[in-house]
Structure 1
Amino acid sequence: MRRRATSLGAVLIAALLSPAAVAIGPAAASPPSSDRPVAPTLTVTRELGLYAGPRIGALRLDGTAIVKEGAVSAPWGGIQHDAVSALSLAGNRIGVLLTDGRALVKEGQPDASWVEEYRGAVKLRLDAGRGRIGVVTSDGLALVKEGGLGASWVVVADYVSDLVLSGDRIAVLRRDRTVWVKQGGLDASWDTGVADQVAQVVLSGYRIGVVRTDGRVWVKEGSVGASWDYGVATGVRQLAMSGYRIGVVRTDGRVWVKEGSVSALWNYGIATDVSELALTGTRVGVLRTNQTVWVKEGGLDASWDTGVADYTRQICLT
Structure 2
Amino acid sequence: MKIVIIGSINRDYTAQVKKLPEKGETVIASSYKISIGGKGANQAVAAKRLGAQVYMIGAVGNSDGGRDIIKKLESEGIDVSGVLFTEEVTGNAMITIDELGFNTIVVYPGANAKLDSSWIERHSKIIEEADFVILQLEIPLETVETAVKLSKKYNVKVILNPAPAKEIPDEVYKYIDIITPNEVELTQLTGTTDIKDGANMLIEKGVSEVIVTLGEKGSYYTNGQEEIFSEAVPVNTIDSTAAGDSFNAAIAVALCENMNIKSALNFANIVGALTTTKMGAQDSLPYRDEVESFRIKLQK
Superposition TM-score tier, normalisation by shorter sequence: 0.3 to 0.5
**Structure with the higher fraction of residues in strand conformation:** 1
Considering fraction of residues, name the structure with more helix: 2
Question: What's the TM-score once normalised by structure 1's chain length?
Answer: 0.34
